[in-house]
Amino acid sequence: MMLQLGQIAPDFEAETTQGPIRFHEWLGASWGVIFSHPKDYTPVCTTELGYTAKLKPEFDRRGVKVIGLSVDALDRHEGWNRDIEETQGTAVNFPMIADPDRKVATLYGMIHPEADPSVTVRTVYVIDPNKKIRLMLIYPPSTGRNFDEVLRVIDSLQTTDRHKVATPVNWKPGDRAIVLASMSDEDAKKQFPQGFHAEKPYLRWVDINQPG
């Protein structure tokens, strides 16, 4: 069954480069990002893993744990990690799941019927502290993933959860937000004592950075 937004991310046990884990227990009360790789020693994923490792302070600041997955075994992960540190300038500083039997890849729908059945597709899942899937991104093998965008979406998710708003196109932290369409004007006045601007009855802007 294909996973969908809002569903509980499947739990699993796995061996990783940082020891065995049970996924939900490992996540704890944190947000999580799990992203898959077809196999070790692939060029595009080498660049992605190095860049994600450089972003670890940004993920930490947001309370996000990152974990990767490849269908190869642990001993190959270790050799690949050395290559990543050499070529990308940063060692992989988060666990990598070894999934040679493709158990986790299958559980998360990372193997598509029309793709090469021997490898995973390059998927990203963002999971919230309630273990719910909040974002799914699927990339083709030839296109490197945009982890700055993953961070931006996490910022949006955490902001919208905190303030009960939506975020507009290309939103970044510090930009104004949108009052939820499902919220009445009366409820919006209570939620946002700093006020809001109704450009249209259905398009109401609020500055969540202004004290309310």
Q: Is the dihedral of CA 142, 32, 49, 155 positive or negative?
A: positive
Contact 42, 116 (CB under 8 A): no
Catalytic residue among 14, 27, 45, 154: 45
For tokens 């990767």, name the residue. Answer: 68
Task: Tokens for 19, please give them.
Answer: 């020891």
Give the start-end residues of each E strand in 74-182. Answer: 96-98, 122-127, 133-139, 165-166, 177-179
Partnered with residue 139 across adjacent β-strands are: 122
Residue 121 is among the residues annotated as catalytic for this protein = no
**Active-site residue list:** 45
